[in-house]
C-alpha cells in the first residue's frame, strides 16, 4: 500500500515518491460528494442486476455466483445491498456445454435471502476437466445474464496450456476499470488471479483516494469509510455494479484472495493502521468485512483440514503435470508491523540501521502468516513432479531497499508491511527455496500491493550484494487504478508541474531503487493495468499491459474511460535458471485450447 505509510524520523508517512533533493510533504485529498444510488441501482434493474461470476475452478468443479434481488411489493422497500430487506427467493441454475443451453449437464436450485444479502453461491461438481461451460440463473421467471466459465487443465500425465491474467488494487474512485475491460475482451485466458485489494475501505471525505477529475463521476458508496457489515456489502455491490468488472467476471472464472483494504489499510492480527478507537472493535469489523467478502465473491472456503490458525483461506490449485498455484493469505494472523521510535502503532516504511528496529525486523517470533501456513508453503515448493510452483502472494517477498535519498533521509528504508518487515520469515523461506533440488522445479511469486510493475530475482540471502544467488523469481502486477509512484510525485512538486517532468522524476527514483536492489530486473512506476502470465514446461513469461504514460495532452489516463491498457514489454524465467530475463516479444498462440472453446 502506497498511502498511509509511516516514515523514518523526519519523513512524512503519506509520501512515497521523492527525488533525492525533495523535501517531505503530506498527501492532500479533496473533499467530495457521492451518488448514493450507484451501488443500489442494479437492485432496481431486475432480479439479476449485479451480473454473474464464477471462481475457484478445479478439474471437475467451479463456484457460480450471483445476487438475486427480490422485487419490492407494494409498500415494501427495495432489497438494496446491506439493507436486510427482501423476501426469500428460490433460484435455479443451469450449466451447459453450449451458450444456448441445448446441452445442459448440471442443474439445481438454491435460496437467496437477506441472511446472505441475497447473494447466491453454488459449488458445481461433476464437470469435465479443461472444458468451457456456460451458466445462468433463473428466479421469478427471469433469467440472469449468461456467464462463461472453465474448469482447470488438471489431468494427470497431460500438459495443457496455462494462461491467466494477474491483477490487484482496484480502487473504485481511483479510475475506470479499463483493465477489466481489456481482460474481458481476450479469448485466450483460463482465469483471472486477483491477489488482493479488490475493494478499498476509504470514504468520500478527506480520505478520498483517486484523481480529482472523477469527483462526482466515480464516487464511493457508502459515503463514509466502510467499518461494518452494511458498509462492506455496499462497497462490494458498488464494484459488482461496474460494467467492466461485470464483464470480466462473466467472461472468466476468478481466483481471489483478500489483502488489507478489504478490511482496513495495513491490517494485522489485532488491528490496522486505518482502524481508529472510535470505529469499534477491530475483530468484529474484520469478521463483518470477511463475511461480506465471502458473500459477494465466487470464493470456495477450504475444508479447514490443513493445519492453520483462525479460518483457513489459503489454498492450492493444480494443473496436470505442468504446475501448481498456491494462494497465500497473510493478514489474518500476521504480527503487528514494526514502528520507528516514537512512531504510531502500525507502520509502513521504517528506517534501517537503528538497532532496535533492525532487531525487531529480524525477530523470529514475528510472522507474516502463521507458522502452519508457512510450513505448508515450504512443503509445496519442495514437492517434485511438476516444473512450476506458482504462488499468489499479497505483498512483495523480494528484498526492496528504498534509497534514503528518495526520502531525504540519511538511512535506507524498507516496507514494514511487506516480507521485508518480517525478516526471519523472509530469510527462512528464501533459504529453504535455495536448498531445493532441481527436481523440485522452480518457484514464481505473483504479487500485487505496491501499485507498480516489477520483475525480480529472489536472492537466497536478502542482505546479499550484486553477487547474490537467485532462489526463485517474482513478478508484480501494477494496480488497476490505485495511486502509484507517478501519482504520488504530485505531492512533492509545485502545482502545475508538467507531467513530463513528473515522469522524469519517477524514472530517476526507479533508477536509484534498481541501483540499490540489483536483483530488480524491471521496474515501472507509472503505468496502471494488469499482467498476462503464460506457463509452459520451458518457461513462465509475463506480458505487461499498461495505461499510456501521462503527457501534457493526457495528464490523467485513469480518468479517461475510453483508454485501456496496452502491451508494453515482456519478462520471463526459463526453467532451471530460477532467474528473470527479458523475453523476445509478446506471448504467442496457445499450445492447445480447452474443450468447447
Per-residue pLDDT tens over the stretch 296-329:
999 999 999 999 999 999 999 999 999 999 999 9
| Closest CA relative to residue 67, chosen from 142, 125, 175, 8 | 142
For residue 21, the model assigns a pLDDT of 28
Confidence of residue 364 (pLDDT cuts 50, 70, 90): very high
- Which residue shows C-alpha cell 526507479? 510
| Per-residue b or e along 557-584, where b marks 16 or more CB atoms closer than 10 Å to that residue's CB | bbbeeebbbeebbbbbbeeeebbbeebe
Q: How far apart are CA 482 and CA 529, in angstroms?
A: 10
Query: What would the mean pLDDT of 28-52 be, rounded to a whole number?
Result: 62
Residue 462 or 159, more confident: 159
- 28, pLDDT greater than 70: no
For residue 343, the model assigns a pLDDT of 60
- 17, pLDDT greater than 80: no
Is the four-CA dihedral 95, 98, 99, 104 of positive or negative sign?
Answer: negative
Average the pLDDT over each of 19-23, 292-296, 331-335, 411-415 and give the range with the smallest value: 19-23
- 129, pLDDT greater than 90: yes
Highest mean pLDDT among 10-14, 348-352, 363-367: 363-367
- 176, pLDDT greater than 50: yes
- 501, pLDDT greater than 90: yes
Query: What would the mean pLDDT of 28-41 be, rounded to a whole number?
Result: 43
Query: What would the mean pLDDT of 339-361 be, rounded to a whole number?
Result: 80
For residue 38, the model assigns a pLDDT of 65
Is the four-CA dihedral 257, 262, 265, 270 of positive or negative sign?
Answer: negative
Q: How far apart are CA 586 and CA 291, in angstroms?
A: 40
For residue 30, the model assigns a pLDDT of 28
Average the pLDDT over each of 221-235, 246-260, 346-360 and give the range with the smallest value: 346-360
CATH 2.60.40.380 domain extents, the chain: 46-151
- 512, pLDDT greater than 90: yes
- 102, pLDDT greater than 50: yes
Query: What would the mean pLDDT of 543-559 be, rounded to a whole number?
Result: 97
Confidence of residue 34 (pLDDT cuts 50, 70, 90): very low
- 567, pLDDT greater than 90: yes
Q: How far apart are CA 84 and CA 165, in angstroms?
A: 35
Per-residue pLDDT tens for 380-404?
999 999 999 999 999 999 999 999 8
Helices (H) and strands (E) in the chain, counts: 10, 26
- The CATH superfamily holding the domain 46-151 is Purple acid phosphatase-like, N-terminal (2.60.40.380)
CATH 3.60.21.70 domain extents, the chain: 152-582
The β-bridge partners of 470 are 459
- 29, pLDDT greater than 70: no
Q: How far apart are CA 529 and CA 534, in angstroms?
A: 17
Per-residue pLDDT tens for 426-475?
999 999 999 999 999 999 999 999 999 999 999 999 888 888 999 999 99
Cβ atoms 248, 166 nearer than 8 A: no
- 12, pLDDT greater than 70: no
- The CATH superfamily holding the domain 152-582 is Alkaline phosphatase D (PhoD) (3.60.21.70)
Work out the mean pLDDT of the chain and round it to a whole number.
91
Confidence of residue 348 (pLDDT cuts 50, 70, 90): confident
- Which residue shows C-alpha cell 474484520? 286
Amino acid at each position: 500500500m502506497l498511502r498511509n505509510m509511516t516514515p523514518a524520523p523526519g519523513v512524512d508517512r503519506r509520501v512515497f515518491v521523492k527525488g533525492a533533493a525533495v523535501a517531505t510533504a503530506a498527501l492532500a485529498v479533496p473533499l467530495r460528494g457521492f451518488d448514493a444510488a450507484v451501488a443500489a441501482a442494479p437492485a432496481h434493474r431486475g432480479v439479476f442486476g449485479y451480473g454473474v461470476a464464477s471462481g475457484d475452478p478445479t478439474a471437475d468443479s467451479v463456484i457460480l455466483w450471483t445476487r438475486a434481488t427480490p422485487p419490492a411489493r407494494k409498500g415494501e422497500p427495495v432489497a438494496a445491498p446491506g439493507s436486510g430487506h427482501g423476501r426469500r427467493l428460490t433460484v435455479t441454475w443451469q450449466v451447459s456445454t453450449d451458450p444456448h443451453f441445448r446441452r445442459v449437464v448440471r442443474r439445481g436450485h438454491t435460496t437467496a435471502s437477506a441472511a446472505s444479502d441475497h447473494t447466491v453461491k453454488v459449488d458445481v461438481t461433476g464437470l469435465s476437466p479443461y472444458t468451457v461451460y456456460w451458466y445462468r440463473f433463473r428466479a421469478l421467471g427471469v433469467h440472469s445474464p449468461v456467464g462463461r466459465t472453465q474448469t482447470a487443465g488438471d489431468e494427470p500425465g497431460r500438459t495443457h496450456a496455462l494462461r491467466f491474467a494477474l491483477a490487484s488494487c482496484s480502487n473504485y474512485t481511483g479510475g475506470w476499470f479499463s483493465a477489466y475491460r481489456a481482460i474481458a475482451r481476450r479469448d485466450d485466458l483460463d482465469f483471472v488471479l486477483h491477489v488482493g485489494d479488490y475493494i478499498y475501505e476509504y470514504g468520500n471525505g478527506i480520505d478520498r483516494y483517486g484523481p480529482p477529475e472523477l469527483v462526482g463521476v466515480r464516487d464511493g458508496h457508502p459515503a463514509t469509510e466502510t467499518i461494518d457489515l452494511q458498509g462492506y456489502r455496499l462497497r462490494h455491490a458498488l464494484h459488482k455494479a461496474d460494467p467492466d468488472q461485470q464483464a470480466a467476471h462473466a467472461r472468466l472464472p476468478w481466483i481471489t484472495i483478500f489483502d488489507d483494504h478489504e478490511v482496513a489499510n495495513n491490517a494485522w492480527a489485532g488491528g490496522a493502521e486505518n482502524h481508529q478507537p472510535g470505529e469499534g472493535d477491530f475483530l468484529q469489523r474484520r469478521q463483518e468485512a470477511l463475511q461480506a467478502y465471502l458473500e459477494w465473491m465466487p470464493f470456495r472456503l477450504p475444508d479447514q483440514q490443513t493445519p492453520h490458525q483462525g479460518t483457513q483461506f489459503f489454498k492450492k490449485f493444480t494443473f496436470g503435470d505442468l504446475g501448481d498455484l498456491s494462494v497465500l493469505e497473510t493478514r489474518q494472523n500476521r504480527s503487528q508491523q514494526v514502528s520507528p521510535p516514537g512512531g504510531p502503532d502500525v507502520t509502513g516504511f521504517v528506517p534501517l540501521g537503528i538497532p532496535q528496529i533492525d532487531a525487531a525486523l529480524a525477530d523470529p517470533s514475528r510472522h507474516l502468516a502463521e507458522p502452519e501456513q508457512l510450513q505448508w508453503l515450504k512443503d509445496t515448493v519442495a514437492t517434485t513432479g511438476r516444473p512450476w510452483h506458482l504462488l499468489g502472494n499479497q505483498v512483495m517477498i523480494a528484498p526492496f531497499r528504498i534509497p534514503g535519498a528518495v526520502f531525504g533521509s540519511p538511512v535506507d528504508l524498507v516496507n514494514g508491511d511487506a516480507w521485508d518487515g518480517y525478516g526471519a520469515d523472509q530469510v527462512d523461506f528464501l533459504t529453504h527455496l535455495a536448498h531445493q533440488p532441481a527436481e523440485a522445479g522452480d518457484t514464481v511469486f505473483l504479487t500485487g500491493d505496491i501499485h507498480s510493475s516489477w520483475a525480480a530475482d529472489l536472492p537466497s540471502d536478502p542482505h546479499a550484494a550484486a553477487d547474490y544467488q537467485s532462489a526463485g523469481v517474482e513478478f508484480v502486477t501494477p494496480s488497476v487504478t490505485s495511486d502509484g509512484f507517478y501519482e504520488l510525485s504530485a505531492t512533492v512538486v509545485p502545482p502545475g508541474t508538467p507531467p513530463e517532468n513528473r515522469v522524469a522524476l519517477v524514472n530517476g527514483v526507479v533508477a536509484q531503487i534498481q541501483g540499490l536492489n540489483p536483483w530488480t530486473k524491471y521496474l515501472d512506476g507509472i503505468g496502471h493495468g494488469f499482467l498476462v502470465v503464460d506457463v509452459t514446461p520451458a518457461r513462465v513469461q509475463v506480458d505487461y499491459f499498461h495505461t499510456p504514460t501521462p503527457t501534457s495532452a493526457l495528464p490523467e489516463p485513469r480518468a479517461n474511460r475510453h483508454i485501456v491498457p496496452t502491451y508494453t514489454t515482456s519478462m520471463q524465467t526459463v526453467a532451471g535458471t530460477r532467474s528473470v530475463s527479458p523475453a523476445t516479444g509478446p506471448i504467442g498462440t496457445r499450445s492447445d485450447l480447452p474443450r468447447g472453446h
